[in-house]
Amino acid sequence: MTRALRSLPPLLIAAITVGVGFLALVIILLLGPLGPSRQVVATPPTPSVSTSPIPAQPDCGPERPSYNYTDAPKGKGPEEKENNNSFGMSAIAPTNVDKVDWTSSDIRFRLLGEPKPGGRGGDWRLLTALKSKVDGTDKNMTISSFAEWCRLVTDFVGRMRIVKVEKLYLHDGPYTTMSMTRARRADDLPTVNDVKVDGGDSEFAIAAVKMQGSSSEVYLSLRLRCGYQPYDITLG
């Protein structure tokens, strides 16, 4: 075969050499170089970037501690009653005002506080006590941070609507109902306790609060004379 190639014209031999080389190059490009197979490493996909907006943080103001209305100074109004185990100073609305609007504003103020530097904090234990009646949570639940309290209180206040404020007249003698009280603690939030109330008041004001609970509507009865103390009394 070598003699046959030598007998060919030089130009034809050059053409054959170029053709063979070109064919070898095409085979290498298509099949890869001869020899052991190579491991193909896949290029990882580029991670997608989320364009969803980040929810705004509720405006609870600067971080500040709970303001415990249990320890609030007692007022001098005719319906004030000194009771260290109540939920704080009386919430009786002044005369000649819309009692529903006033009560709605006042309870929101006690729950949220003043969202400004140096402002009064919200009442954390009032929140947990009322939340336990609506959502079935622990009335003395631990709130680990200001941010957690902010999330809980803004959700709760957002679901709350004052329905009416009225005086209950109890002319049939003493009454017995379940309620809650708060025990002061020097170095921590007050402790909320269940209590059976035996009373003989001739009348007292109750605010009916309509709440959107986890699955249904819930009504709270809050005794204004004792700072929105939860009472198990149903208003008609």
- Domain that includes residue 134, residue range: 84-231
pLDDT reported for residue 131: 93
**CB distance 224 to 167 below 8 Å:** no
Q: How many domains does the chain have?
A: 1
3-state secondary structure 81-114: CCCCCCCCCCCCCCCCCCHHHHHHHHHHHHHHCC
pLDDT reported for residue 77: 45
Identify whether 111 is part of a domain. Answer: yes
Percentage, residues of the chain above pLDDT 70 = 63
Identify whether 236 is part of a domain. Answer: no
**CB distance 88 to 123 below 8 Å:** yes
Mean pLDDT, rounded, for 94-115: 90
More confident residue, 12 or 128: 128
pLDDT averaged over every residue in the chain:
75
Give, as one character, the DSSP assignment of residue 230.
E
Return d(Cα 67, Cα 111) in angstroms, integer: 9
| pTM, 2 dp | 0.69
Identify whether 64 is part of a domain. Answer: no
Amino acid identity for residue 174 in this structure: P
Identify whether 206 is part of a domain. Answer: yes
